Amino acid sequence: MAQNSRGLVLTTFAVLFAMLAVSNLSKPFQLSPNVGFVFFGGKTHGIANAILGPAFGLMLIVYAIGIWRMRRWVLPIAYAYAAYVILNLLLYTIRNAGSADQPSATFMLGYMAIAIGVSTGSAILLHRRRSALL
The whole-model pTM stands at 0.89
Closest CA to 114 of 22, 7, 41, 17: 17
Q: Confidence band (pLDDT; 50, 70, 90) for 102?
A: confident
Q: Check residue 3 and give its pLDDT.
A: 46
Q: Check residue 34 and give its pLDDT.
A: 78
* Residue range 52-84, pLDDT digits in tens: 999 999 999 999 999 999 999 999 999 999 999
Q: Check residue 99 and give its pLDDT.
A: 83
Q: Give me the residue spans of the domains in the chain.
A: 2-132
Query: Is the pLDDT reported for residue 105 higher than 90?
Result: no
* Residue range 19-50, pLDDT digits in tens: 999 999 999 888 777 788 999 999 998 999 99
Query: Is the pLDDT reported for residue 121 higher than 60?
Result: yes
**Are the C-beta atoms of 127 and 75 separated by less than 8 Å?**
yes
Closest CA to 40 of 3, 79, 94: 94
Query: Is the pLDDT reported for residue 131 higher than 80?
Result: yes
Q: Confidence band (pLDDT; 50, 70, 90) for 2?
A: very low
